[in-house]
Amino acid sequence: MKKAIVIFFLAVFGYFMAITFLSPEFEADRNRNGVKDFYLEKTVSDLKTANTVTAIVVNFRGFDTLGEVTVLFLAATALGSILFKKRHHIGERTVLYPASTIVGSGAKLIFPAIILLGAYVFIHGHLTPGGGFQGGTIIATGFLLMLISYRNFSISHNILSVIESLAGILFVVFGFMGLIYGGSFLENFMGTGILNDLFSGGVIPVIYILVGFKVAAELTGLIYTILHEKG
Amino acid sequence: MVGTPVFLIAIPLLAAFLIPLIGMIWKESVRIIPGLVLAYMTVLSASLYLFILENGTYVETIAGWQAPWGIDLVFSPLTGLLATIMTFMGFIVWLYSYRFKSNVEFEAAKKYFIFLMLLVAGSVGIVITGDIFNQFVFIEIVGISAYALTAFYTGRNSAEAAFKYLIMGSLSASALLIAIIIVYAQLGTLNMAEIAANIDQMNVHYRIIAMIFFIIGIGVEAEIFPLNGWAPDAYTEAPGPVGGAFSGIVVKAGIYAMVRMMFTLFDISGPMKILIVIGLVTLIVAETSALRQEKLKRMLAYSSIGQMGLVLVAFGMGTKAGVFAALFLMLNHAIIKPLLFLSGSFLTFNTTEKYISQITGMAKKMPVVSVLFALGALAISGLPPFSGFWSKLSVLTAAADENLMLIIALVLIISVIEIVYYFRVINRLFFFEYDESVSVKPHKPGFNGMIALFILAGLILLIGFYPASVTGYLDLAADDLLNTHQYIDKVLQLGQSIIQ
């Protein structure tokens, strides 16, 4: 009886799934009434931002991005609180083997380049593909490389938490400045400049740089916490 | 005005980022700031609610882009009422746990209060947002705070409960994302009002599959039957006040998301009473499970799930009376269940197992808390003259209007079951002798905790003796939910600005 019910439900579900995924009308322009044309037009005319994706992420749907940044903050904090009691001291951690000389010397060489690349990606987020989330992740991989290459490489948890708090606070403060000077929360209240300039897009690059700092600090903190977890 | 609806989200987020910084200098601030923020949210929410009752629904745009293009927050008689209840319950839970956690370390306390604050903020966000992807983001915020709060005691059992919740929550969030993708691929918009206006253009197969994914996605937070496996474990293992916060705040947000989806997005008024079926199954399974529980908090958790089933049954009727009854049940449950959880966690303070047998004869040692617990138990099982009576009565009359005799019979049978398992606890509390070998050591309840309990008990008595004090507001909220056209009209035009 139980099995029959389950099979019945799965069959109904499977039928609709199959129809949904077997009939995607590829040729048809499905989003006739959608928001996409408006975004493409306003990104260039109003926001003067070369990268439409960034304009959508930071301005049109900036509130979602604030939420996602909070999700990341919560996840990092939650992991920290769950692993709080069992943490090794600096120098002793779960990595079993020391890194080889090649990795060690290579890491030193490549570390500044990774940081530079990450910074470049989030500073140019409004011009080229990429942005705060991607740039922040690249920077965190640089720290990951250093952490697995050198056993006694340590980062101050306080500094990381100050950076992530300040970036988060400034994000919300810029939102409120939009409310005060523009009329609604997160509104682009700064001059937008000329399309394709580094200093263009008003508040968009500023917020994306803050996101970059925040993501970099949070992911580095996460990696650091996990590496120092007691096995 | 003290602010606009966006302050309900932005201020807690700002505070959450600030607390780690201020906490480095002034340790006590990690307890005080969340309380101030929650108090501010309550005041703001209540004053906005009174404002919109006079001036009509307020729609706030974010980032300067009007409704279909940008994200909007809708503060209507329904969402305003729910936001006010949630923020108020958040404040009560904070008040209760202000000293409750005084014995834990600074780091743990800091995280506890950050998570609690964002749990409330996220739930309010789920309710007031007018955009399905934004709702998804808030469901994520609520989810992650809830997993972390469940794992607060970092023991084996709490880790298991949190992990179970995490797996179910993440899977359901993926389902929700798929539903959002299907809707966006079909209609090219994420705005609820725009979707509601254009839902007819969507292919019916896509509509059904999107609805199935929506139900799976939201069902975990709303605790509907096959998706609520996390709830009993999480309620049992989480700290006592967190159980109160889950049942008073998070579940309400889940139910709201479900109902908004069913009533506004996919207009399902008609012969397909899917909510009644979901609700009835949830109700019967949960209440019969509650009957067999040996642990106090587990029993309360199942009772909470059962009440949510009843709420869905009432919503499922789709009539004005049904929606009114459902909202009345939600309001009462939001007040009574936290009272039971909070007083229950005082009674079982000195035990980790929290068996019902361990509180035998506790009324002799902790009379006030026991009386408050009994008050909550009587109220939730629907005995007059307490508040639960009126909400259950309104469910019955709503069902009678629709000639749903089976539902009336089932609800009455379920009420008997509820009385049986609650009276079992009351019997043990009051009419058994206190026995050192079985019962736990009594714990002296804190001052602030008692204030929180008395506020909740006072509200139960107030609504019980003067139900007219709330029915007017609930009536407006029910009208608001059922009037989809008005919602679409309001959202798709620019609302008036209240900042000037």
Q: Quick: pLDDT tens for B437-471.
A: 777 788 778 888 899 999 999 999 999 999 998 99
- Residue B225 sits at the chain A interface (C-beta within 8 Å): no
- Mutate: best of B7, B33, B65, B499, partner A, most A CBs <10 A: B65
Region B86-107: mean pLDDT is: 82
pLDDT in tens, A22-37: 776 666 665 566 788 8
Set of chain A residues whose Cβ sits within 8 Å of the Cβ of B189: 33-35
Coil, strand or helix at B352 = coil
pLDDT of residue A98 exceeding 80: no
Tell me, what's the pLDDT at B8? 93
Domain spans in chain A, listed from the N-terminal domain onward: 2-227
In A, minimum Cα distance to B142 occurs at: A71
Tell me, what's the pLDDT at A90? 53
Q: Tell how strand B72-75 and strand B58-61 pair up.
A: antiparallel
Q: The dihedral of CA B286, B290, B294, B296: what is its sign?
A: positive
Per cent of chain B over pLDDT 90 is 49
Q: Which tokens sit at A119? A: 């910074």
Is 0.90 surpassed by the pTM of this model? yes
Mean pLDDT of all residues belonging to chain A: 85
Residue A165 to residue B21, Cβ atoms within 8 A: yes
- Mutate: best of B17, B72, B107, B147, partner A, most A CBs <10 A: B17
Nearest to A204 by CA among A29, A4, A43: A43
Chain position carrying tokens 């968009």: A204
Tell me, what's the pLDDT at A32? 60
pLDDT of residue B71 exceeding 80: yes
Mean pLDDT of all residues belonging to chain B: 88
pLDDT of residue B114 exceeding 70: yes
- Mutate: best of A25, A38, A63, partner B, most B CBs <10 A: A63
Lowest pLDDT segment from A17-31, B10-24, B150-164, B214-228: A17-31
pLDDT in tens, A33-70: 678 888 888 888 888 888 889 999 998 999 999 999 99
Residue A84 to residue B154, Cβ atoms within 8 A: yes
Residue B133 to residue A62, Cβ atoms within 8 A: no
Higher pLDDT, B3 or B141: B141
**Would you place residue B121 in the very low, low, confident or very high pLDDT band (cuts 50, 70, 90)?**
very high
Tell me, what's the pLDDT at B306? 92
Q: Which tokens sit at B90? A: 């958040």
User: In sequence order, what are the beta bridge partners of B72?
Assistant: B61
Categorise residue B23: left if φ over 0, alpha if ψ from -120 to 50, beta otherwise.
alpha
What is the 3-state composition of chain B as percent helix, strand, coil, each rounded to the nearest 5?
A: 75, 5, 20
pLDDT in tens, A208-222: 999 999 999 999 988
**Partner A, chain B 229-248, Cβ-Cβ below 8 Å:** none
pLDDT in tens, A157-192: 889 989 989 999 999 999 999 988 888 888 888 888
Nearest to A72 by CA among A147, A129, A155, A133: A133
Coil, strand or helix at B252 = helix
Nearest to B273 by CA among B262, B284, B264: B262
Tell me, what's the pLDDT at B418? 92
Tell me, what's the pLDDT at B205? 82
Region B75-99: mean pLDDT is: 92
pLDDT of residue B500 exceeding 70: no
Tell me, what's the pLDDT at B272? 58
Per cent of chain B over pLDDT 70 is 96
